[in-house]
Homo-oligomer: A and B are copies of this chain.
Amino acid sequence: MPTAALRSTVNRIRITPVTQATESSPVAPIKTQCSSCHLRDLCLPCGMNGNDLDRLDSMMFARRKVKAGQTLYREGDRFQYIYAVRAGTLKSSLMLSDGREQVSGFHIAGELVGLDGVAQGHHASATMALEDTEICAIPYAHLSELAVGASGMQHVISRLMSREILREHSLMMLLGSMNAEERLAAFLLNLSQRYAARGYSEREFHLRMSRAEIGSYLGMKLETVSRTFSAFQNQRLLEVDKRHILITDLEGLKRRFEVRVH
């Protein structure tokens, strides 16, 4: 049962000091082919034809485990890989020179991370695991080399980047013109959709991020996030218990807060 699977994962506290995942682990990494991956319709190969998929399979991406609290890459790190999330949850964030952090995204299974590095050859954000997570490391140079002459594959990559632009568009919208309730509702509805697309419950899930992380992502303080959760609960839209969320009135939540872009 999908929901149970989501919940059964230990709500692991990040006690480990923030450490960098070792580039090359002592054991030879497991290699994976996209065509046999259960996430193939959501992830990188989505939209590729058989020919392109064969090319992709020839790459045999290395899998890597990232423990809760470890970083996948930091700001300024040389850009070599993009990463596909196989299981778990990641957060990406940007830092201002004075130390303020802005969470720029949360990433779950089937999503890609790291495309911001293409422009400058180094990563502009940092990405950290919020729970024990498994990723495929996709060497970007190799990938784009492989895509030379394969127009289908090239288009897929371009579309992925453009999708990233759209994702940021909606976050801008949210940050620029929505109040606290709208922000949190948009966030929950977005998560709900993404879980639903992966076969999990759209009504019940476990948040992998703290109130402070949600707040940073949504441009508000953790106390305001907490208060807004309580407000939704009073309005009978949700039942909240720490990080466990049950949406009791999904339609109501949508009707009142789903603000589609056009």
Binding site for B on A (CB under 8 A): 75-76, 94-98, 100-102, 104, 115-120, 124-125, 144-145, 147-151, 154-155, 157-159, 161-166, 168-169, 171-173, 175-177, 216-219, 259-262
Contact = CB atoms under 8 A, between A and B. Distances in A.
A262 B219 contact: no
Chain A facing B: main interface SS? helix
A149 B146 CA distance: 10
| Interface hub of A97, A116, A117, A166 (most chain B Cβ within 10 A) | A166
Given A119-B166, A175-B219, A158 B155 contact: no
A104 B101 CA distance: 22
B171 A172 contact: yes
A259 B104 contact: no
A144 B101 CA distance: 37
Identical chains bound together, number: 2
Contacts of A219: 175-177
A115 B162 contact: yes
Contacts of A97: 259-262
Contacts of A100: 177, 259
17 contacts: A75-B262, A76-B262, A94-B169, A95-B261, A96-B261, A96-B262, A101-B177, A102-B177, A116-B169, A145-B151, A148-B148, A148-B149, A161-B165, A168-B169, A168-B172, A172-B175, A176-B218
A243 B220 CA distance: 32
Given A119-B162, A144-B151, A144-B158, A259 B168 contact: no
A159 B110 CA distance: 23
B159 A118 contact: yes
A46 to B, nearest CB: 12
Contacts of A95: 261-262
B172 A259 contact: no
Contacts of A165: 115-116, 119, 161, 164-165, 168
| Interface hub of A76, A96, A100, A172 (most chain B Cβ within 10 A) | A172
